[in-house]
Copies of this chain bind each other. A is one copy, B any other.
Amino acid sequence: MKIRITNARILTMEEPIGIIRGELHVTDNRITYVGEILKESELIQDGKPVEFDRVIDAEGNLLMPGFKNAHTHSAMTFLRSYAEDLPLKEWLYEKVFPMEAKLTPQDIYDLSILGIMEYLTSGITANFDMYMSPEFAAKASVDCGFRTVICGSANDFGGTKESLRREYETLNNYHDLITYILGFHAEYTTSKELMTDIADLAKELRTPVYLHNSETKEEVEGCIERYGMTPTVFLDSIGMFDYGGGGFHCVHMSSEDLDVCRKRNLYVVTNPGSNTKLASGIAPISEMLERKIPVAIGTDGPASNNCLDMFREMFLVTGLQKLQNMDAQAVSAKEVLKMATVNGALAMGLTECDTLSVGKYADLIMIDLCQPNMQPMNNIEKNLVFSGSKQNVKMTMVNGKILYEDGRFYIGREPKEVYRKANEIIARMTGETREQ
């Protein structure tokens, strides 16, 4: 399969970040050309004109790397707008955990597909997913053609060193679209014994570890009571980050915590939508950037956010810093775009999905600039971050295949069928009806 996308603006996200006019070729699942528009006479291979299976005229619209959703729980779609207006701890223990106990693996498969559809509408081409029954989330992604990095989710309710090792081996050899990174839920839900086991496994496998870290003030205070240290410092003390990794949320981070991040090359995955909705606080992103700590962006799960929209997250990343620091210059649009694409990919170990460059995987999106919110074209990068919306996502391609284009999904199933199943699942659990 050979696709030519011509007459495009291209934001490759290679440094220095800027936009070129040109065209891009995809051969099977890789980018095989990015550059100036070619004349017919230049489209020759082995003495013959190159034949394309499809030629797309971008009409001046923008190609860029797909967004990487670097922290989410996709299957939590079933709880969207169900348990609301509660702080994290009550929300989690009283509303989320009891409902999650009723989920079947098939439910997780069906609900993950609903999440993937929403990612596609937001130009997200890969997710870093943490949830139960990860092999079913992985299967959902493969069946849709979507790219997923599964994050281990061990905690006191389930998961051992051995089960994590099995997942690591199985899911890293499952399919080209799936990889697996070691992880556990959080310090406050995991015994010291299990955390020590996980740290040992990480050292044995020489691999990074991710977890929910310092999401709420209460969580940090609890850890200090338990271990006399903040979560970041405590985890580092047991060797959890000897081979890197990172934290989701990282809202309440001390100066010492940030020193650990820098020393261990940890990624911070910020989740401003969720931290806003659950009133958890604002992460010190500006300070992290000053300290050269790489920041990526995640939506968190749809139960706490409640949407899977990278445009909202991008605005919030910079907007909340401006408010917090009382500084309208905090966190530039280019920095935000880098977080949402390159840094996300690198945090997830997707080193071949970070930029639009020859040889990289064709995980890319087309942004519709012919919309009022993108006009006039004073600065396309700023337009993307400060006024972009899902409505601007014209096409989402993962691994060389178009999965979403002009509002239609190409994921091998009917949207209405996916919605019907999601409504049935929550209806079954609550005993309430859900008319579609």
Contacts and interface: CB of A to CB of B under 8 A. Distances in A.
A383 to B, nearest CB: 5
B114 A323 contact: no
A101 to B, nearest CB: 18
Contacts of A278: 322, 328
A355 interface: no
A312 to B, nearest CB: 7
Nearest to A281: B323
B387 A390 contact: no
A307 B436 contact: no
Interface in A77-116: 77-82, 84-88, 91, 114-115
Interface residues of A, number: 77
Contact of A77 (B370, B376, B389, B415): B376
B376 A78 contact: yes
Interface stretch (A41-49, A155-163, A189-197, A416-424): A416-424
A427 to B, nearest CB: 8
Q: How many copies does the complex hold?
A: 2
Contact of A379 (B82, B276, B277, B333): B82
Contacts of A170: none
Contacts of A312: 312, 315, 389
Contacts of A80: 375-376, 378, 383, 387
Contact of A276 (B79, B82, B322, B391): B322
Interface of A: 60, 77-82, 84-88, 91, 114-115, 117-118, 121, 273, 275-279, 281-282, 302, 305-309, 311-312, 315, 319-320, 322-323, 325-330, 332-333, 370-373, 375-379, 382-383, 386-391, 393, 407, 415-416, 418-419, 422-423, 425-426, 434-436
